Chain A
Amino acid sequence: SFVLTQPPSVSVAPGQTARITCAGNNIGAKRVHWYQQRPGQAPVLVVYDNSGRRSEIPERFSGSNSGNTAALTISRVEAGDEADYYCQVWDSSSDHVIFGGGTKLTVL
Chain B
Amino acid sequence: QVQLVESGGGVVQPGRSLRLSCAASGFTFSRNGIHWVRQAPGKGLEWVAVISYDGTKVRYEDSVKGRFTISRDNLKNTLYLQMNSLRTEDTAIYYCAKDWSGSWDYIDYWGQGTLVTVSS
Which residues of A are interface residues toward B (Cβ below 8 A)? 31, 33, 35, 37, 42-45, 48-49, 54, 84, 86, 88, 90, 95-102
Contacts and interface: CB of A to CB of B under 8 A. Distances in A.
B interface: dominant SS: strand
Contacts, number: 52
Interface of B: 35, 37, 44-47, 50, 59, 61, 95, 100, 104-113
Given A96-B47, A96-B59, A90 B104 contact: yes
A37 to B, nearest CB: 8
A37 B110 CA distance: 11
Given A95-B59, A97-B104, A42 B45 contact: no
A90 B111 contact: no
A96 B61 contact: yes
Contacts of A31: 105-106
B61 A48 contact: no
A3 B106 CA distance: 17
30 contacts: A33-B106, A35-B107, A37-B45, A42-B110, A42-B112, A43-B45, A43-B95, A44-B110, A45-B109, A48-B100, A48-B108, A49-B106, A54-B108, A84-B44, A86-B44, A88-B106, A88-B107, A90-B105, A96-B47, A96-B61, A97-B35, A97-B47, A97-B50, A98-B47, A99-B37, A99-B46, A99-B47, A100-B44, A101-B44, A102-B44
Nearest to A8: B44
Contact of B45 (A54, A90, A99): A99
Nearest to B107: A45
A53 to B, nearest CB: 12
